[in-house]
Structure 1
Amino acid sequence: MIRTATLAAIALLLQGAASAQMSHHYVSEAACDTAELRCATKVTPAFAPDGTLWLAWMAGGRISVASSRDRGKTFSTPVAIVDQPLALDWGPDARPKMVVDRHNRIAIAFSIFRDKNFNGEVLHTRSVDGGHSFAKPVPITPNTESQRFEQLALDADGSIFVAWLDKRNRAQARADNRSYNGAGLFFAWSKDGGGTYSEARMVKDNTCECCRISVAFAGLGRPAVLFRNIFPGSVRDHAIVTFRDPATPGEIYRVSHDDWKTEACPHQGPSLAISPGGTYHAVWFTGGGIRKGLFYARSTDGGQTFSEPTAVGRPDRNASRPYVVASASGTAIVWKEFDGEKTTVKLMTSRDDGRTWSQPKVIAATTDASDHPLLVSHGRETFLSWMTKADGYRIVPIGDAP
């Protein structure tokens, strides 16, 4: 069932994407297996504090990095962080993760497959010379069980928080002749710009093992992690945890009661943002018995309770892959829809911290394969970042979208 779910999710991923209103693009070709940006399947953006746009992408079995000082019109010569192709994790929710600190150190984490059973390993590297070179990637943890779905987040003091899904407790369960479901949510910190990470510690065991997680900060040293949990009865609904301090995870709270009972892998993780005013904004996909499709909810009490979920997008058009950001200028959500021929990216915005939302509007479209739509902010500007096979990579301020 897991492999079937994986293939189904990949089929959804390959349905398409992009609009001609966006700035510059790097076109992909039908047969494309080099490490160039035009061949990328997954592209991750990040703004440095000085406003430089950095991209990390997967192509040709490599992770490559380049930067732009003109909002994506031109890019520097790409640098591959490894010389030889790797067995990169190609799952629908997998992509390289990247943060850039005020010292222009670039930290990257990504996962590879160890074997044909989708057991993974999270590797990390960094650049201390402005992206001209990278250290040899090394494991995020010495444990040899499976790790996947890593997420990096840069705290206000320059510390890097990393969380991932880890199956190290599976080995002990097998040794004790016990069943083991899902994976454990683990975390670590780096105080040197991603050069080294602290010893891994667990937040919670038996979470869903095959969906991206999302991280935002509720305060200095207080990351919040939104993840798909496994509740009693094999219900895979979402939960959230906010750290009390860097070493201490807080209570785990349920985000919604969707009642998605499944033994398979959804391969659709959530997205979380916390506004300057402290409101939590969560978006997710569910196939539950109570509700199906994309939903949004907000919390004004630190994630302890959430509002009644609000439907996002059109279920009859396979609405999927939601992403949310919150900045001083407002909150924005993007997602994908597919009408049988064309994939569109839709946008909703809120100027009152999620109390009310604009009507959805199409801001990009394609009839070919596409990556997930992402949002990235710098200052008061928020940008849509999207990679498509037909039109390549594009980035545009959402205020300029049609």
Structure 2
Amino acid sequence: MLRMSLLATLAFSLCQTPVQAQMSHHQHASEAACEETALRCASKVAPAFASDGTLWLAFMAGGHISVASSKDEGRSFSTPVQVTREKLTLDWGPDARPQIVIDKNGGIALAFSRFRDKAFNGQVLTTRSADGGQSFAEPQPITASNESQRFVALGLDADGSVFAAWIDKRNRVPAQQEGKKYEGAGLFFASSKDGGATYSETRLAADNTCECCRIGLAFASPGHPVVVFRNIFEGGVRDHAVMTFADPASPGEVRRVSNDDWQIAACPHHGPSLSVSPAGTYHATWYTNGKARKGLFYARSQDEGRTFSDPLPLGRANRNPTRPYVLAGPHGATMVWKEFDGEKTAVNAMTSHDEGKSWSKPVAIATTTDTSDHPLLVSNGHKTFLSWMTKADGYRLLPIGDGS
């Protein structure tokens, strides 16, 4: 159960008006509190713990990607190191954020996307630090393709290799030239055997996926990445799917997470989340506005995504629940999401200690009356934390239970 200390509210915030944000991101070009490259000005933050317990943040601020570290679980941070050398038009879409993974030797791999033009065509860039975050190599494109790439996800495999997946539009023009109808984009992937310094040739995992939602990435076991994404099924239905790779170079079948029947020819900008427990349970959370169901949902699979449990609704419908995130941590699974009551936003949390069969009652663990990033979860191997960037109050790291 969540400890009573979590009931104390912190001053936190709302990322954007929930209904508007689900359908359009063009109005959210700047969510930052200021235009400097300092952490307090960050609009998007991604956390990761190193094996020595150091918390690292990759964040967007002032048109740059930077990193900062904390030795005391987020109470204080090092002076940020600027990763990008020139100011970029970074991808500010609601589901876009930098990605960071840290290997056992302290090597840091980063990936992020920038806009190449005013039509929101993106480019995924990657870089690596081999000196513990003191400096980074010049960011390089993850692929030579000039077509749009966005919403990259990075994962660190057990052997230290890095797996990357993203949404890519390179198949759109060839299909149109052949007179074929082409919806959405493609799910592409690549891997790195040198800690993110270089990546393999990119390959297609699945075509005709939704082009504007974040994807969830986890590992079912060493060498077996799992990706959850909003797919485009027959009839233009944009429901979620999961894919388990046979190995980092071999995509698996596209398996449906839930039949929500959301037929829409637009971009929801509201992607899913995925985590796999040590016991092999797939935990998935997502948003839908389909005919079968509407709102936030959770489901679990114990057969590598072949079948999922009946969707469990999350949050209160009259409070616009948004941005669900799930993590199978050291003492069970945790879910968080945001709700807005008309005055303030609350991050709510639930925990499970039986592989997602049952969940604790929702508890509001943080609130605010200003804007904020999405709520994320991160683990140091001992505890699970809420990671949340807020405009009014800066970055916060809040422990969520320890199994007691």
TM class by shorter chain equals over 0.9
Q: Which residue of 2 aligns with 1:370?
A: 372
> 4+ runs of 1 displaced by more than 3 Å?
4-14
The AA in structure 1 aligned to 2:118 is: K
Residue deviations 1:164-222 (CA, integer Å, cap 9, x gap): 01111112112223221100001100000100000001111000000000011011110
- Seen in structure 2, the aligned counterparts of structure 1 residues 226 and 7 have a Cα distance that, compared at 3 Å, is closer
| Bigger Cα displacement from structure 2, 244-253 vs 388-397 | 244-253
Q: Aligned runs of 1:110-149 on 2, under 5 Å?
A: 110-149=112-151
Q: Which residue of 1 aligns with 2:56?
A: 54
Unaligned runs of 5+ in 2: 1-18
Task: Quote the offset at 1:378 in angstroms.
Answer: 1.2
Q: Which residue of 2 aligns with 1:194?
A: 196
Alignment check: 8 A CA contact 2:23 2:269 kept: no
Q: Which residue of 2 aligns with 1:308?
A: 310
| Secondary structure of residue in 2 paired with 1:332 | strand
Q: Which residue of 2 aligns with 1:293?
A: 295
Task: Quote the offset at 1:6 in angstroms.
Answer: 5.8
**1:235 and 2:259 matched:** no
- Seen in structure 2, the aligned counterparts of structure 1 residues 63 and 150 have a Cα distance that, compared at 3 Å, is same
Task: Quote the offset at 1:316 in angstroms.
Answer: 1.1
Q: Which residue of 2 aligns with 1:21?
A: none
Task: Quote the offset at 1:328 in angstroms.
Answer: 2.8
Alignment check: 8 A CA contact 1:5 1:264 kept: no
Q: Aligned runs of 1:75-86 on 2, under 5 Å?
A: 75-86=77-88
Distance, in Å, in 2 between the alignment partners of 1:277 and 1:325 is 13
Distance, in Å, in 2 between the alignment partners of 1:84 and 1:189 is 26
Task: Quote the offset at 1:10 in angstroms.
Answer: 4.9
Q: Which residue of 1 aligns with 2:208?
A: 206
| Secondary structure of residue in 2 paired with 1:368 | strand
Alignment check: 8 A CA contact 2:22 2:269 kept: no
Distance, in Å, in 1 between the alignment partners of 2:23 and 2:312 is 26
The AA in structure 2 aligned to 1:274 is: V
Residue deviations 1:208-252 (CA, integer Å, cap 9, x gap): 000000011011110010000001111000000101122211111
Distance, in Å, in 2 between the alignment partners of 1:282 and 1:249 is 19
Q: Which residue of 2 aligns with 1:152?
A: 154
The AA in structure 1 aligned to 2:235 is: G
Task: Quote the offset at 1:13 in angstroms.
Answer: 8.2
Aligned length in residues: 383
Residue deviations 1:349-377 (CA, integer Å, cap 9, x gap): 00111010000000000000010000001
| Residue 70 (structure 2) aligned to one of 61, 68, 82 | 68
| TM-score, scaled relative to structure 2 | 0.92
Alignment check: 8 A CA contact 1:229 1:238 kept: yes
- Seen in structure 2, the aligned counterparts of structure 1 residues 283 and 7 have a Cα distance that, compared at 3 Å, is closer
| Secondary structure of residue in 1 paired with 2:229 | strand
Q: Aligned runs of 1:90-105 on 2, under 5 Å?
A: 90-105=92-107
| Bigger Cα displacement from structure 2, 244-253 vs 364-373 | 244-253
The AA in structure 2 aligned to 1:198 is: S
The AA in structure 2 aligned to 1:398 is: I
Q: Which residue of 2 aligns with 1:356?
A: 358
Distance, in Å, in 1 between the alignment partners of 2:25 and 2:383 is 31
Distance, in Å, in 2 between the alignment partners of 1:7 and 1:261 is 15
Task: Quote the offset at 1:83 in angstroms.
Answer: 2.3
Unaligned runs of 5+ in 1: 17-27
Q: Which residue of 2 aligns with 1:268?
A: 270
**1:165 and 2:167 matched:** yes
| Secondary structure of residue in 1 paired with 2:173 | helix
Task: Quote the offset at 1:393 in angstroms.
Answer: 0.5
Alignment check: 8 A CA contact 2:22 2:268 kept: no
| Residue 342 (structure 1) aligned to one of 341, 344, 351 | 344
Alignment check: 8 A CA contact 2:23 2:268 kept: no
| TM-score, scaled relative to structure 1 | 0.92
**1:185 and 2:187 matched:** yes
Task: Quote the offset at 1:8 in angstroms.
Answer: 5.0
| Secondary structure of residue in 2 paired with 1:249 | coil
Q: Which residue of 2 aligns with 1:23?
A: none
The AA in structure 2 aligned to 1:292 is: K
Identity %: 64
Distance, in Å, in 1 between the alignment partners of 2:122 and 2:67 is 22
The alignment's C-alpha RMSD in Å is 1.8
Distance, in Å, in 2 between the alignment partners of 1:83 and 1:240 is 37
Alignment check: 8 A CA contact 2:128 2:195 kept: yes
| Secondary structure of residue in 1 paired with 2:176 | helix
